[in-house]
Amino acid sequence: MTNAELFARACDVIPGGVNSPVRAFGAVGGTPYFVTRAEGPYVWDVEGRRYIDLVQSYGAIIAGHAHPRIVDAVRRAAGDGTSYGAPTEREVQLAEAIRERVPSCDKVRMVASGTEATMSAIRLARGFTGRSRVVKFAGNYHGHGDALLAESGSGVAQLGRAAGGAQLDVDEAGTSPGSAGVPASAVADTTIVAYNQVPHLDDSVACVIVEPVAANMGLVAPAAGFLDGLRSACDQVGALLILDEVITGFRVAWGGAQGHYGVRPDLTCFGKVIGGGLNVGAFGGRADVMDHLAPLGPVYQAGTLSGNPLATAAGLAALDLLDPDAYDTLGGRAGRLACALQGQFDAAGLVARATVVGSLVGVYFGDHHPVDYADARRTDEAAYAAFFHAMLQRGVALAPGAYEIAFPGLAHDDAVLDTVVEVAGEAAAVAAAVAGSRSSP
């Protein structure tokens, strides 16, 4: 069976052939590879090709695919039943493990995805403050909830083109919802502002939600003073500060981005790494805020599979592999990777920048350092597509979208990364030809 055959079958029965839009390769062209299995830094497709995988489930995997300790934890948990509808000890252990690493989380609630975590945190912030307005940053992605999709980077950045220019409602303040099917009323209380600028807030604001390191518009680090500035701006008007650490949590540092940058939010959203590759999200924060949740308080939030036994087993096993030393290893490797990639780009005459924060690595195809979404969107998407395919042909899988980032993990040792860098040299030459042919008339 070939990838093309399977994709044709998939397209017949699944919209676009995929269960999450970016996977369809719409932004880069071509046919997606269908994975049969994965191990460590590698995935194999149905044609038997092996790729060095830098997608790593968009950041859900940090210890490498099919890590024996995680697989074993899931197997053992599955043998005891897959879901009960009653609490379990592992849910308590995972909440405690999160609080130990992220001290701003007095209390934690588990959900089943990052989207659910942000949706629930927003509802809680509104319920706690009695206010409606949510401030979000252009280019930050917080999952696909109605109120938060507007200008949210990642796959949404490419929606207009894929859909042939979707017709979207626009609310009175001019906020476009980001997707058809989201009414203007759903974003009437969403205000979008530019990343890396502390907005002026008033007392209608329930919360400010932010990716502490923006990782869905390529990689954009917070400017000095940005996160602290948000903290004070929120305090001045009694708004809550929500950090969306779905990507950064347990990845950029032991204590997440908030530990790394020394900022204390009121609420934090988690996902990805804490599920060890299973369906998990969580949100946590100040006890007085969290105690507004049902059954203690008036803010309703629930889930049949929340705190699922397999997911909590996988999450605990993943966190267990991540001692503070692991972050030194990850950061060191990612730093060397970014530096070596930059060397290859320069050598190939490709105008591009490799950026790094902790173990997150981004590539921007342009000649300056993006600080917000307007900058980030000036990346040369055609050059990215060329780079992406040149890498894939040579056995290195990046995410099929110019606004996604690379996730080197504990399984990407120096030998693996050396191969990535070598391949990137050839791919940079291919991309440079595309970028050059476009910029010269």
Ligand X SMILES: *Cc1c(COP(=O)(O)O)cnc(C)c1O
The 42-45 sheet, strands edge to edge = 35-39, 42-45, 50-53, 396-397
Tokens 């490799």 belong to residue: 354
With CB under 6 A as the contact rule, which of the stretches 76-84, 107-115, 232-240, 374-382 interacts with ligand X?
107-115
For residue 271, state whether it binds ligand X (rule: CB under 6 A).
yes
Largest CA distance in the chain: 66
Among 142, 231, 353, 377, binds ligand X (CB under 6 A): 142
What stretches of 57-105 adopt beta strand conformation (E)?
none
**Residue 244: active-site member:** yes
Judged by CB under 6 A, the residue of 34, 141, 254, 388 near ligand X is 141
372 near ligand X, judged by CB under 6 A: no
To ligand X, the closest distance from the beta carbon of 392 in angstroms equals 22
Q: Which two tokens stand for residue 255?
A: 């204590």
Instruction: State the nearest-atom distance from the C-beta of 216 to ligand X, in Å.
Output: 6
Query: Residue 27 interacts with ligand X (CB under 6 A)?
Result: no
Site stretch for ligand X (CB under 6 A), options 113-121, 123-131, 327-335, 352-360: 113-121
Of 143, 259, 285, 401, which lies in the binding site for ligand X, with binding defined by CB under 6 A? 143
What is the residue-wise DSSP string for 376-437?
HTTS-HHHHHHHHHHHHHTTEEPPSSTT--B---TT--HHHHHHHHHHHHHHHHHHHHHHHH
Number of residues lying near ligand X (CB under 6 A): 14
Please select the residue that binds ligand X; options are 45, 53, 211, 372, rule is CB under 6 A: 211
Shortest approach of ligand X to residue 118 CB, angstroms?
Answer: 6
113 binds ligand X (CB under 6 A): yes
Residue number with CB closer to ligand X (272 or 389) = 272
Shortest Cβ distance from residue 57 to ligand X (Å)? 10
247 binds ligand X (CB under 6 A): yes
Q: Rounded to an integer, what distance in angstroms lies between the CA atom of residue 213 and that of residue 279? A: 23
Residue 431 in tokens: 């991309």
SS3 state at 354: strand
Q: Are the C-beta atoms of 307 and 315 separated by less than 8 Å?
A: no
Q: Do 34 and 45 form a contact (C-beta atoms < 8 A)?
A: yes
What's the closest the beta carbon of residue 143 comes to ligand X, in angstroms?
Answer: 4
Runs of H (alpha helix) within 238-292: 256-261, 287-290
104 binding ligand X? (CB under 6 A): no
Helical residues (DSSP H) of 250-308, grouped into ranges: 256-261, 287-290
Which of 51, 58, 141, 373 is an active site residue?
141
Burial class (CB in 10 A: 0-12, 13-18, 19+), 163: middle
- The verdict on whether 141 is a catalytic residue reads yes
Per-residue contact string for residues 42-81; x = within reach of ligand X by CB under 6 A: ----------------------------------------
Q: Is 308 in the site for ligand X (CB under 6 A)?
A: no
Q: Answer yes or no: 195 catalytic.
A: no
The span from the CA of 54 to the CA of 260, in Å, is 23
Q: Which residues bind ligand X (CB under 6 A)?
A: 113-115, 118, 141-143, 211, 216, 244, 246-247, 271, 281
- Enumerate the active-site residues: 141, 244, 272
